[in-house]
């Protein structure tokens, strides 16, 4: 390792002399208690040459399977969308290559303009007036929005739909412990018990009446997902209205008290065909931005989007870029608001994140510009049509039904008779990733046997037909094995005459 260490023995001795310590050992002895120090060598194998390390890493990499090698219907928050070459080309330009905070606007106009254009695009998508220059990813965006609500009204209770992504719910629970807040989960409507008509079933949507009853004068925020984790399209306007008008007999918010902050976790790809959250009465819209120009590289990379009504402007996390004119009247861009602890007093800070995601947000901006207004609508319509095709084809398999009957956009939850992990392995052996094990993500007993199938424009009708074939084959194989019994194929013991 010495060749990778810049400090020489003389350099180290000079540093030790400067602080009045005789050796590195003496430095450790003064700072680290003896009972927690490791005595002896680490149990590490001998080092390898550079060529051997390269060969080892290549072997490890070959164990990975990407969407280039298999047909993937995996979603649940991360999706295999097509990324045009222009995204990489522009992201690699020197004006944008660093994601670091542009403290000096005179040398950071490229980065600042990207932030401004990104904010504009998110505002147009969500129909909300202000957006920040991104946060880390979707779950932390949800938690940051909840913190904004806590700062806004100081109440101790979050009412959350059971359709919120489980990772977002887990992150929210972690944050809520920090400021001693309670989380109340409102269930989804089960099929066969829906409140809608036969023409417009509500199975899989958040139960609006139970949502309304759960909200009281102590409710800080009401949080739901659109579409929800199960792919179901929620009635966002009804949920927002119910949050601001609690059920009859429920305690009022108090004379002159503000209603809870309504937060929606949205999928930006679906906003070309779904009513935007700002038009539905939502106060804060957050979401995961990976689908906007991001690949599935080790689960990401991603960024979180965050938009809100103007009254929440100074409580938003991260930073906001603004447009201005310089002394010569030329158009320019600056950081207008910075609410991180690096920029303002720690007790007034609303976040300590956002810097490293600017490059991913740039990819999202390029992607949206490439797609355009009409392209986003066309993409949404394509996904909806292919999802409906997949829904009908998969329901035709014996042992498969849709988990919920409400409309979906580009992801659907299936209930499958059989062992989901075994089914997924069988499909993978035939070059198809059939989707996500729902119960493995939610931990809910009711989700046992659930498979979440995601459709993108990368999945053709032929791919969907292939999915139908391998799932049908896997179910038939499981049934045949069950019928044969646990001892099928095992050698039998001799039976005495």
Q: Taking residues 377-393, report their average pLDDT.
A: 96
Q: Taking residues 237-256, report their average pLDDT.
A: 69
Spell out the residues 6+ positions from residue 356 whose beta carbon is closer than 8 angstroms to its own.
99, 136
Bridge partners of 333, per DSSP, are: 323
Residue 495: its pLDDT value, please?
37
Percent of the chain with pLDDT over 90: 63
Residue 98: its pLDDT value, please?
64
Per-residue pLDDT tens for 442-487?
Answer: 999 999 999 999 999 999 999 999 999 999 999 999 999 888 876 6
DSSP structural state of residue 463: H
Residue 393: its pLDDT value, please?
96
Distance CA(88)–CA(147), nearest Å, equals: 34
Q: Are 147 and 350 in contact (CB under 8 A)?
A: yes
For the segment(s) 71-79+373-481, the CATH number from 3.30.420.40, 3.40.50.300, 3.30.56.10, 3.90.1150.10 is 3.90.1150.10
Residue 492: its pLDDT value, please?
43
User: What pTM did the predictor assign?
Assistant: 0.84
Q: Alpha-carbon Rg of the chain, whole angstroms? A: 27
**Average pLDDT in the chain:** 87
Identify which has the larger pLDDT, 99 or 368. 368
Q: Taking residues 182-203, report their average pLDDT.
A: 72
**Dmax (CA) of the chain:** 108
Three-class SS state of 186: strand
Q: Taking residues 265-282, report their average pLDDT.
A: 96
Distance CA(321)–CA(114), nearest Å, equals: 9
Residue 178: its pLDDT value, please?
87
Angle at 189 between CA 262 and CA 169, to 5 degrees: 45
Asked whether the predicted pLDDT for residue 493 surpasses 60, the reply is: no
**53-62, 92-101, 149-158, range with the lowest pLDDT:** 92-101
Spell out the domain ranges in the chain: 1-37, 71-79+373-481, 85-368
- In the sheet with 130-131, reading across from the earlier edge strand, the strands are 130-131, 304-308, 284-288, 261-266, 219-226, 157-161, 182-186
Residue 148: its pLDDT value, please?
92
Percent of the chain with pLDDT over 70: 86
**13-27, 196-210, 233-247, 371-385, range with the lowest pLDDT:** 196-210
Distance CA(382)–CA(374), nearest Å, equals: 12
Q: Taking residues 74-91, report their average pLDDT.
A: 93
Q: Taking residues 243-270, report their average pLDDT.
A: 75
Residue 3: its pLDDT value, please?
58
Banded pLDDT at 58 (limits 50, 70, 90) = very high
Residue 73: its pLDDT value, please?
97
User: 247, 248, 193: which is closest to 222 by C-alpha?
Assistant: 247
Residue 195: its pLDDT value, please?
44
Q: Are 218 and 155 in contact (CB under 8 A)?
A: yes
CATH topology of domain 85-368: 3.40.640
Asked whether the predicted pLDDT for residue 82 surpasses 70, the reply is: yes
Per-residue pLDDT tens for 105-145?
Answer: 666 787 888 889 999 999 999 999 999 988 889 999 999 99
Spell out the residues 6+ positions from residue 466 whose beta carbon is closer than 8 angstroms to its own.
71, 432
Q: Which of 24-33, 218-227, 239-248 has the highest mean pLDDT?
A: 218-227
């Amino acid at each position: 390792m010495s060749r990778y260490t810049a400090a020489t023995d003389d350099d180290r001795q000079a540093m030790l002399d400067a602080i009045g310590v005789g050796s590195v050992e003496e430095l450790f002895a003064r700072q680290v208690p003896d009972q927690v120090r490791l005595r002896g060598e680490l149990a590490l194998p001998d080092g390898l040459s550079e060529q051997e390390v390269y060969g080892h890493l290549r072997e490890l990499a070959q164990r990975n399977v990407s969407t280039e090698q298999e047909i993937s219907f995996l979603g649940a928050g991360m999706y295999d969308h097509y990324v045009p070459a222009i995204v990489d080309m522009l992201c690699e330009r020197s004006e944008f290559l660093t994601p670091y905070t542009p403290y000096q606007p005179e040398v950071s106009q490229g980065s600042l303009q990207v932030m401004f254009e990104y904010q504009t695009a998110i505002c147009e998508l969500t129909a909300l007036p202000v957006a920040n220059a991104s946060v880390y990813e979707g779950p932390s965006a949800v938690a940051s929005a909840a913190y904004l609500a806590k700062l806004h009204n100081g109440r101790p209770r979050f009412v959350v739909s059971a359709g919120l992504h489980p990772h977002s719910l887990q992150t929210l629970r972690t944050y809520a412990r920090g400021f001693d807040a309670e989380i109340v989960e409102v269930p989804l409507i089960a099929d066969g018990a829906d409140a809608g008509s036969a023409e417009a079933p509500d199975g899989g949507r958040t139960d609006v009446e139970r949502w309304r009853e759960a909200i009281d004068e102590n409710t800080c925020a009401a949080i739901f997902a659109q579409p929800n984790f199960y792919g179901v399209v929620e009635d966002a306007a009804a949920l927002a209205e119910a949050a601001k008008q609690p059920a009859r007999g429920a305690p009022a918010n108090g004379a002159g008290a503000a209603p809870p902050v309504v937060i929606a976790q949205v999928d930006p790809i679906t906003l070309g065909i779904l009513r935007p959250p700002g038009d539905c009465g939502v106060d804060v819209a957050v979401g995961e931005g990976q689908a906007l120009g991001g690949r599935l590289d080790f689960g990401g990379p991603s960024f979180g989007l965050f938009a809100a009504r103007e009254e929440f402007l100074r409580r938003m996390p991260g930073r906001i870029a603004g447009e201005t004119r310089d002394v010569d009247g030329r158009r320019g861009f600056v950081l207008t608001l910075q609410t991180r602890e690096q920029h303002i007093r720690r007790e007034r800070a609303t976040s300590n994140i956002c810097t490293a995601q600017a490059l991913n947000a740039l990819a999202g901006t390029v992607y949206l510009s490439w797609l355009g207004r009409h392209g986003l609508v066309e993409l949404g319509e394509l996904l909806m049509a292919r999802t409906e095709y997949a829904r009908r084809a998969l329901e035709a398999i014996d042992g498969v039904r849709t988990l919920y009957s409400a409309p979906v956009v580009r992801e659907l939850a299936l209930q499958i008779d059989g062992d989901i992990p075994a089914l997924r392995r069988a499909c993978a052996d035939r070059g198809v990733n059939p989707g996500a094990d729902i119960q493995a993500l939610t931990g809910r007993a009711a989700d046992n046997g659930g498979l979440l199938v995601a459709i993108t424009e990368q999945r053709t009708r032929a791919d969907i037909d292939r999915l139908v074939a391998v799932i049908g084959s896997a179910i038939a194989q499981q049934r045949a094995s069950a019928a044969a019994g646990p001892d099928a194929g095992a050698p039998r013991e001799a039976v005495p005459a």
